[in-house]
Structure 1
Amino acid sequence: MITDQLAKYYATIAQQYERVYDKPERQEDLEVLRDKVADVLEGHTVLELACGTGYWTEVVAESAESVLATDINDEMLALAQARGLPDNVTFAKLDAFNLPDDLLGKFTAVFAGFWWSHVKREDQDKYLKQLRNKLGKDILLVLIDNSYVDGSSTVIARTDLLGNTHQFRTTDAGERYEVLKNFPSDSHLRKKFAHSAREIRMKRLEYYWLLSCRLK
């Protein structure tokens, strides 16, 4: 389940969120990642989890048949809706950790950008099982997230007893939040998904990674 701390943090930083995409050193990777995301989701009916400001919704909508973009934060959804996205995009308020029971058979793919890193290591198997049960066998799952890069990524503040890493994030108003943010290796991802998915494909860039698979 999403923590109150995490939800409050993202609600607070909604207006400043996209600055993370302005870092000069990340532009080449972002161009590659945008192309990869659009390519892998071409023609799909997509459920997007934790859509945030709609930055990646816009990318997905370029090639997808349709996109239902969802987020738990009203602040994020308002920004996403204000982007003027095409008619194949609709929006809904949804907790990515607590999916409703009426989704089965409605989508051919699920996309989550920069979300897997917020799922606790000890909850990941259960989360994949929920996606499979709520969305159906063989659905395409596409994840993108951050690689940890010294000097560019926010420093890891601590690692808990279960191996989850945490960062301290400070808002423009000076508020400080502790945010769960994991940075899994390729081998860890492949091992984690091996029991729940097939056709696992990975693309590792310097600042980001992409994983696609079909849930068993």
Structure 2
Amino acid sequence: MDDLDEMLSQQQQYYRERARDYDAWINNYLLPAEKKFEELVNSSPLTGDILEMACGSGYWTERISRVAHHVTALDGSQEMLDIVDGRQLPNVSTAQADLFNWNPPTQWDGIFFANWLAHVPDARFEQFWRTVSAALLPTGTVVIMDVAPAEKFIEEEVVDDSSLPIARRRLKDGRRFDIVKKYWEPEELLDRISPLGFTGKATPVGQEAGRGFVWYELEKRNEF
């Protein structure tokens, strides 16, 4: 196992360990922009059969399920998926998957992921977008919610002076984990994915509350 594999394994373990308190945390974390997010979901192209990648404890799964026909929710942590299953959403199915080594069995009308792209290292970036492209119907849309550099203030320690930006996180019991954390500027991200076959727009969210959330809506321009 190389250093990057070890880092991604540590990242996955961190979120498995956080599953029990993650749901309360994410609700509080996104509260400043909750009303705007509700508006964005309701006006989004997230209709039909939707794939949610890295669903976590289901904060977004529940909201997307209100506008989608069906949601397939994937996560690497079974502990997170157990929480999603506990929501008993009738049009949601869950599956455990390592998104860096997952092959889509079909294609969906739309794909959604939140607070995930920041955890994708550059060495796996293009392959991840190949997976996204393979999972999306030609007429489909990708919707992303992620963080811009303004959100760095929530971190205890960020090391971003290398090709692998890292955030050091601590659990309540004191254990520390290093995770990948890349804070994309919206235009930087749009430029980065353009050669990979995607184009779209970015909408900053939460700035009036001092937050750095960004909502992206992307179309597949061509096969990557």
Q: TM-score, normalised by structure 1?
A: 0.87
Counterparts of 1:119-198 in structure 2, within 5 Å, are: 119-149=120-150, 152-162=153-163, 164-198=164-198
C-alpha distance in structure 2 between counterparts of 1:151 and 1:191, whole Å: 22
Aligned length: 210
Query: What are the ranges of 5 or more consecutive residues in structure 1 without an aligned counterpart?
Result: none
Kindly indicate whether the alpha-carbon contact (under 8 Å) linking 2:42 and 2:67 is maintained by their aligned counterparts in 1: yes
Structure 1 residues 36 and 186 mapped into 2: Cα distance closer, same or farther (>3 Å)?
same
User: What displacement does 1:73 show?
Assistant: 0.8
Change in CA separation of 1:89 and 1:20 when aligned onto 2, cut-off 3 Å: closer
Contact 1:72 1:95 in 2 (8 A): yes
**In the alignment, which residue of structure 1 is the partner of 2:87?**
83
Counterpart residue type for residue 81 of structure 1? D
Q: Is the 8 A contact 2:147 2:184 kept in 1?
A: no
Please give the root-mean-square deviation of Cα atoms over the aligned residues, in Å: 2.1
**Aligned counterparts, 1:14-163, within 5 A:** 14-18=19-23, 19-23=25-29, 26-85=30-89, 87-103=90-106, 105=107, 107-149=108-150, 152-162=153-163
* Larger CA deviation: 187-196 vs 48-57: 187-196
Task: Measure, in 1, the Cα distance between the counterparts of 2:122 and 2:139.
Answer: 23
Q: Which moved more, 1:52-61 or 1:167-176?
A: 167-176
Q: Which has the higher helix share?
A: 2
Shift of residue 178 of structure 1?
Answer: 0.8
Identity fraction in percent: 21
The answer to whether structure 1 residue 211 and structure 2 residue 213 are counterparts is no
Structure 2, unaligned stretches of length 5 or more? none
**Partners of 2:115 and 2:153 in 1: CA distance:** 16
* CA-CA distance at 1:53 after TM superposition: 0.4
Match of 1:137, SS state, is strand
TM-score by length of 2: 0.84
The match for 1:4 among 2, 9, 15 is 9
